[in-house]
Structure 1
Amino acid sequence: MRIPKLDEYKKKWNIESEQSIQLGLESMVQALEMLEHPEKELNVVHVAGTNGKGSTIAFLEQLAIAHGLTVGKFMSPCIVDVHDQIQIDGKPISEKELDYIFAIMSRAGLSGKLTDFELLTCAAFLYFAQNNLDVVLIEAGMGGREDSTNVVDPIVSIITSIALEHTKFLGSTIESIASHKAGIIKQQKPVVIGRLPQQSVHVIEQEAFEKESPLIALGDHFDFIEEDKIYTNDERGLSIQRLQGGLPGKHQGDNMALAITAFFELADFLTIAADIEKIREAVKKAKLPGRFEQVLPNVYFDGAHNPQSAEMLIQTIQQQFPNEPIRFVVGMLADKDVKTVLGILETVSDEFYFIDFSNDRAMPASEMMCLSSASIKAILSDNQAFFRQASTFNGKIFVTGSLYLLTELRGQLKNFKEDCGLL
């Protein structure tokens, strides 16, 4: 899928780049040399993982801002268009600023040397370096070891979760996936990890041992007790009570704990004092588009694109909307475990609408419908009419399956902004 509005800048500045996915760092290293290595000027927190990256970064961003730090953020995919993938203090890069960055990349001679994502990664590094930020939060695009973002030397790395994903590129076993994620661990720099599958733990531990990197594990060195809303950190001998995160769902407690733990490492590096009351206030403010996000009356976006995130979505639905009727609108990439995801979603609903969207890797709606066991199912052809009627539904509608789908639909639903005041 093309990144919305990226082509406008490429065309204006006569920069060619490939839309395809290409793992490996050689092109990035060469490009950054041509740009005089802006990435070396950044204080980076590098985040990889199958699920939870965006949420963890959302918590971290608020924690940093609450302590008076200026914060850059590079994430994917986009929410609306290319600008919101590169942000400072929650504000997307402006057209004027991105135009200036592309002018620099054009003069440096980057045309024809990178993929779209690599080009955008270079743009983010340049933008952040020019603004002399206190900290930059970088989300790995795919895997970790050979992802274009893995040219940074972070203050601390975070691996949120590990499950089968992108098997065509990352391998078909948990151990292979773990090896890719472990690649973001850097020499003698701490790594904070979530609750990982047992078969992946030894891979992470071995990498950390070889890199002489302190390994700080959720459930071993720190934890979050959901029932009591308490964060504990044995390494630091502290606990924080009355923690209430701004993102719904029990699983978000783990992401919040990862962010708090990483923030302590960041605060140590920057020699600032972490304030408990500021931490409490900060985590309440965390928000993330596409994660249990209400976009219209009765309509929610959630980018549950694999079995693990689908399970989390179901748990949150059962927690937030017990006994309410649920409808799903689903669009997924063909390289995902579509049948398993549908089976999980079908545990709370028997009504599904399948939707086509503009992505070369998207599974046709007709094929998704064939994989579904729901008794009420259809292909959604008139999106506007469907969502116009959503306000009269006596339950909740969840649009899910792919963040690329959410990006496309978000643009279509702008017409509802004045009516609903939610978009």
Structure 2
Amino acid sequence: MIPKLDYYKKKWEVHSDASIKPGLTAITEALKLVGNPQENLSAVHVAGTNGKGSTITFIEHISKAHGLSTATFMSPCIEDVHDQIQLNEQPITPEEMDAVFSIMADAGLDGKLTDFELLTVAAFLAFERFAPDITIIECGMGGRFDSTNVVAPIVSVVPSIALEHTNFLGSTIESIAMHKAGIIKEGKPVVTGALPTDAMKIFTQEAEKLRSPLLVYNENFIVIEENSKEIYMANDVRIPNLTRTMPGLHQRSNMALAITAFNIFAQINGVKTSVEALRKGIQSAQLACRFERLAPKLYIDGAHNPASAKSLVNAIKEQFPNEPIHFIVGMLGDKDIQGVLAELEKVGTTFTFVDVVNDRAMAADEIMKISNAVNKSTTYDILTTVQQKLLLNEVIIMTGSLYLLAKWRKILHETFN
């Protein structure tokens, strides 16, 4: 369910299916009916398991610091459908959403697409109308058969690969990698993080088959630390004195991927790069729901699989060594809940499990049964729990599902500031 999408579907009588149907046939036919707006975009395409949002945010802020206009398409939403389609970092307006839905209604798209396919078409139409200098597009799920994969990017980016959506993408790293590698386009560069060996083999084969330059973190480019500052290095490029606002060592790789992808984009598009602009973009980049500070000692993070939970735990160890950590956790039932909890329990002092308003959610008391934590409970009164833990001077981190964070992000910020 995408909040407020139904409002526009009903208003313009453009209905779509809430189910997930991987494949490009339906969206390809729909895009033809609205004039193939995706063909007019200067795009960067991003797939992967974790790190997509952070990498996109780095690219967006670097672009902005260079004076470029930007457009992004990301999933899922934080508050509602508007913030999935952003123009110059601003959610699409209701007026602009009405404009693109009017086009889709006139083109006869009623009943032809899934919800995400419909939203993808809306995004492409909005971007064509806005005509940004750079468009950054995130895959919804997988890559090869994701509806965004109709775009012809200047460069493709894959920050990481781990097991996810196994009911659609397969239960092995190789099968996941096959889906992600599907965003590589013939002759177009692809930039990746340090992927698992089995995944790297797939990407190497796909890149060779399509004659696409493959640039890999730790091999073709790297970020090192020197005197508490980070230095990006790639061939004859050296950018010292980089300062990130987004914490965690895992963001070092995402930052490096963003710099590499932007430099490729800039070279191909004749954009003159500036070291100072790169530094400014890196420092200004922040992403909602990624170790986001809402108030002193109150954070939210959308860790919903074991790999992202591990990154969160590492960030906690880096930022709050030896401090008591209280987790507020709500999760969807189709996630690896046991794997996520196993990571969080390495640093968590106490746990409170909560319900998530979603048809796919697992009940809080069921999650508590899975948890091996010693100090654990459930609650329907999140605000009181947060207040009590703050009085005890504990670090509080709400995590597990972006649907949970979408509901509580604004409430917590307004209540405790």
Residue identity in the other structure for 2:146:
D
Residues 278-357 of structure 1 correspond to what in structure 2 (within 5 A)? 278-357=277-356
- SS of 1:242's partner is strand
Deviation of 1:99 after TM superposition, in Å, equals: 1.2
Residue 7, structure 1, aligned to residue 6, structure 2: yes
- SS of 1:397's partner is strand
The answer for the alignment partner of 1:102 in structure 2 is: 101
Instruction: Please tell me whether the aligned partners of residues 297 and 390 of structure 1 are also in contact (alpha carbons under 8 angstroms).
Output: no
The answer for the alignment partner of 2:35 in structure 1 is: 36
Deviation of 1:375 after TM superposition, in Å, equals: 1.2
Deviation of 1:410 after TM superposition, in Å, equals: 2.6
Q: TM-score, normalised by structure 1?
A: 0.96
Residues 4-403 of structure 1 correspond to what in structure 2 (within 5 A)? 4-227=3-226, 229-234=230-235, 237-403=236-402
Instruction: Please tell me whether the aligned partners of residues 193 and 217 of structure 2 are also in contact (alpha carbons under 8 angstroms).
Output: yes
- In the alignment, the residues of structure 2 paired with residue 387 and residue 344 of structure 1 have an alpha-carbon distance, to the nearest angstrom, of 22
- In the alignment, the residues of structure 1 paired with residue 10 and residue 385 of structure 2 have an alpha-carbon distance, to the nearest angstrom, of 36
* 1:164-216 CA distance string (max 9 Å, x none): 00000000000000000000000100000101000111100111111110101
* 1:31-76 CA distance string (max 9 Å, x none): 1011110000000100001000000000000111111111000001
- SS of 2:338's partner is helix
Q: Name the CA shift for 1:48/1:289 in 2 (closer, same or farther; >3 Å).
A: same
Residue identity in the other structure for 1:238:
V
How big is the alpha-carbon RMSD for the aligned residues of Structure 1 and Structure 2? 1.2
- SS of 1:149's partner is helix
- In the alignment, the residues of structure 1 paired with residue 392 and residue 189 of structure 2 have an alpha-carbon distance, to the nearest angstrom, of 49
- In the alignment, the residues of structure 2 paired with residue 190 and residue 100 of structure 1 have an alpha-carbon distance, to the nearest angstrom, of 34
Residue identity in the other structure for 1:232:
M
- SS of 2:149's partner is coil
- SS of 2:215's partner is strand
Instruction: Please tell me whether the aligned partners of residues 226 and 250 of structure 1 are also in contact (alpha carbons under 8 angstroms).
Output: no
- In the alignment, the residues of structure 2 paired with residue 392 and residue 4 of structure 1 have an alpha-carbon distance, to the nearest angstrom, of 34
- SS of 1:183's partner is helix
* 1:206-262 CA distance string (max 9 Å, x none): 11111110101111110011355111002xx11111111121111101000000000
* 1:293-338 CA distance string (max 9 Å, x none): 0123432110111111111111111111112110001111222211
Residue identity in the other structure for 1:231:
Y
Mean Cα deviation higher: 117-126 or 330-339: 330-339
- SS of 2:86's partner is strand
- In the alignment, the residues of structure 2 paired with residue 249 and residue 226 of structure 1 have an alpha-carbon distance, to the nearest angstrom, of 13
Instruction: Please tell me whether the aligned partners of residues 324 and 349 of structure 2 are also in contact (alpha carbons under 8 angstroms).
Output: no
Deviation of 1:341 after TM superposition, in Å, equals: 1.2
Residue identity in the other structure for 2:356:
F
Deviation of 1:390 after TM superposition, in Å, equals: 4.5
Q: Name the CA shift for 1:393/1:116 in 2 (closer, same or farther; >3 Å).
A: farther
Deviation of 1:103 after TM superposition, in Å, equals: 1.1
- In the alignment, the residues of structure 1 paired with residue 404 and residue 12 of structure 2 have an alpha-carbon distance, to the nearest angstrom, of 29
Deviation of 1:131 after TM superposition, in Å, equals: 1.1
* 1:84-135 CA distance string (max 9 Å, x none): 1100111111111111111111111111111111111111100000111111
- SS of 1:220's partner is coil
Residue identity in the other structure for 2:141:
M
Instruction: Please tell me whether the aligned partners of residues 295 and 416 of structure 2 are also in contact (alpha carbons under 8 angstroms).
Output: yes
Instruction: Please tell me whether the aligned partners of residues 47 and 158 of structure 1 are also in contact (alpha carbons under 8 angstroms).
Output: yes
- SS of 1:46's partner is strand
* 1:8-34 CA distance string (max 9 Å, x none): 111111111111111111111011011
Instruction: Please tell me whether the aligned partners of residues 299 and 390 of structure 1 are also in contact (alpha carbons under 8 angstroms).
Output: no
- SS of 1:311's partner is helix
Deviation of 1:360 after TM superposition, in Å, equals: 2.0
Residue identity in the other structure for 1:81:
D
Residue identity in the other structure for 1:32:
L
Percent sequence identity is: 53
- SS of 1:283's partner is helix
- In the alignment, the residues of structure 1 paired with residue 388 and residue 138 of structure 2 have an alpha-carbon distance, to the nearest angstrom, of 37
Residue identity in the other structure for 1:397:
I
Instruction: Please tell me whether the aligned partners of residues 226 and 253 of structure 1 are also in contact (alpha carbons under 8 angstroms).
Output: no
Instruction: Please tell me whether the aligned partners of residues 326 and 389 of structure 2 are also in contact (alpha carbons under 8 angstroms).
Output: no
Mean Cα deviation higher: 223-232 or 268-277: 223-232
Residue identity in the other structure for 1:363:
M
Task: Give the unaligned 5+ runs of structure 2.
Answer: none
Deviation of 1:402 after TM superposition, in Å, equals: 1.3
- In the alignment, the residues of structure 1 paired with residue 108 and residue 203 of structure 2 have an alpha-carbon distance, to the nearest angstrom, of 38
Mean Cα deviation higher: 155-164 or 222-231: 222-231
Task: Give the unaligned 5+ runs of structure 1.
Answer: none
